[in-house]
Amino acid sequence: MYEETPRVELTPAAADLLRRLRATHGPLMFHQSGGCCDGSAPMCYPEGEFRTGGSDVLLAELQVEGVAEPVAFWMSRGQYEAWSHTRLIVDVVEGRGSGFSLEAPEGVRFLTRSRVVGA
């Protein structure tokens, strides 16, 4: 089945940051947990550095122009159940996010915005 509306998309700023991070760190992945502190902030890791399992859902393999391989976007199953009716838009905002996410030293952080599917 072809999905017209992608489940996860990137703003131009997020795609640009991913290109820069890829050049420095190699292949990348996202994981968004349901944690209290950064629940709306996807964490960006070198691919495979964050272990995923049965409690995670692979929402997308993002194609980024200038990045050779797709960037997997994982979400914890509990968070996915709460957000399953939305389209997620990964953006970049100024400010410091989690120290574990690769963009932290850049003075910016990834942020997930959502839009109800069909809206």
CATH of residue 81's domain is 2.60.300
Closest Cα partner for 40 from 72, 88, 1, 106? Answer: 88
Q: What is the pLDDT of residue 97?
A: 67
On whether residue 88 sits in a domain, the answer given is yes
pLDDT of residue 100: 83
Work out the number of other CB atoms within 10 angstroms of the CB of residue 59: 19
Q: Which domain holds residue 45?
A: 8-116
Q: Which ranges constitute the DSSP H helices of 1-118?
A: 12-25, 77-83
Q: Consecutive sets of 10 residues in the chain, 119 residues long: mean pLDDT of each? A: 70 98 97 67 94 93 96 92 88 82 91 80
If one counts the domains in the chain, the total is 1
Does residue 87 sit within a domain? yes
Cα→Cα distances 79→1, 34, 84, Å: 24, 5, 8
Q: How confident is the model at residue 12, as a pLDDT?
A: 98
Take residue 92 and report the two structure tokens written for it. 């970049």
Residue 24's pLDDT is 96
For residue 26, give Cα distances in angstroms to 22, 23, 68, 96, 110. Answer: 5, 6, 10, 22, 18
Residue 48 has a pLDDT of 92
- Within-domain flag for 45: yes
The answer to whether position 2 is within a domain reads no
Of 119, 58, 112, nearest in space to 89 by CA: 112
Angstrom distance (rounded) from CA 44 to CA 39:
13
pTM of the model: 0.88
